[in-house]
Amino acid sequence: MKKVLGKALGAAALALAFASPALAADEAPAGKWQVKVLATSVLADGKITAVRKDLIGLPAGAQTDASNNSFTPTLAIEYFALPNVSVETICCFTAHHVTGAGSLAGAALVDHALILPATVTAKYHLTLPGGIKPYVGAGGAWFFYIDERAGATAQALGATRVKLDNDAGVVVQGGIDIPITKTGLGLTLDAKKYWISTTAHFYTANGTEALTTRHRMDPWVLSAGVAYRF
């Protein structure tokens, strides 16, 4: 987490350095649409919050953790309904695996899960000198889980297949858009915090559901990239 925050702060300093010529320039044309191409880091949680079915016999103190994703290309599309009010949606896929923690430390439980975090937020933008626009936003999200695969430890315990439930949650965000030309091109930094969970179902080869656990995902999603408003 410290490394990611350090990278984000470094990106912010770089953005301000590049943006300095624009501080004295006129604002870029205020178009209705903005497209952002971002590099995104997803810092997930993954802890068990409830065990709903257990035919395997989890040991006391069993816990799990979801891996962080250090880099995911992301596309954001934003529409300005008013000069300072916009609606934004993002598109990306992020891959994670789930390992054991506590008494399950070192266990490979889910080797691969591809997540599509469908997100829509409403944002309010302030306007500072030079056209710099910090913003805050909030909205809803639906996480779709695709191509889940049982890990080696889960398979050794007889769970040959795993399914993660799609689920809904809420998100808040904050960030800043910094113009670097008068034609709508700019730099952008963004941070989102999600509150969202999922249920994991582990099945044996004959189709029996041997383990059902509820997990808190609640990721931080940190992004930096370029924006074009038109």
Give pLDDT tens digits for 22-67.
443 345 457 999 999 999 999 999 999 999 999 988 999 999 999 9
List, in sequence order, every residue forming a beta bridge with 21; answer none if it has no partner.
none
| Closest to 122 measured CA to CA, from 103, 141, 147, 109 | 141
pLDDT in tens, 78-135: 999 999 999 999 999 999 999 999 999 999 999 999 999 999 999 999 999 999 999 9
Answer for the pair 219, 42: CB distance below 8 angstroms, yes or no. Answer: yes
pLDDT at 160 over 70: yes
The CATH number covering residue 35 comes to 2.40.160.20
C-alpha separations of 80 from 34, 125, 156, 172, 185 in Å: 8, 10, 52, 18, 16
Expressed as residue numbers, the domain containing 209 is 2-229
How buried is 9 (Cβ within 10 angstroms: 0-12 exposed, 13-18 middle, 19+ buried)? exposed
Average pLDDT, the chain: 89
C-alpha separations of 55 from 41, 58, 59, 170, 213 in Å: 36, 8, 12, 33, 12
- Quote the pLDDT of residue 21: 42
- Quote the pLDDT of residue 70: 74
| Closest to 221 measured CA to CA, from 186, 169, 185 | 169
d(CA 142, CA 185): 30
Q: Which residues have CB under 8 Å from 142's CB, separation 6+?
A: 118, 166, 167, 168, 169
- Quote the pLDDT of residue 29: 53
Q: List alpha helices for 20-170, DSSP H.
A: 152-156
- Provide the number of structural domains found in the chain: 1
201 alpha-carbon distance from chain centroid? 22
Q: List alpha helices for the chain, DSSP H.
A: 2-19, 152-156
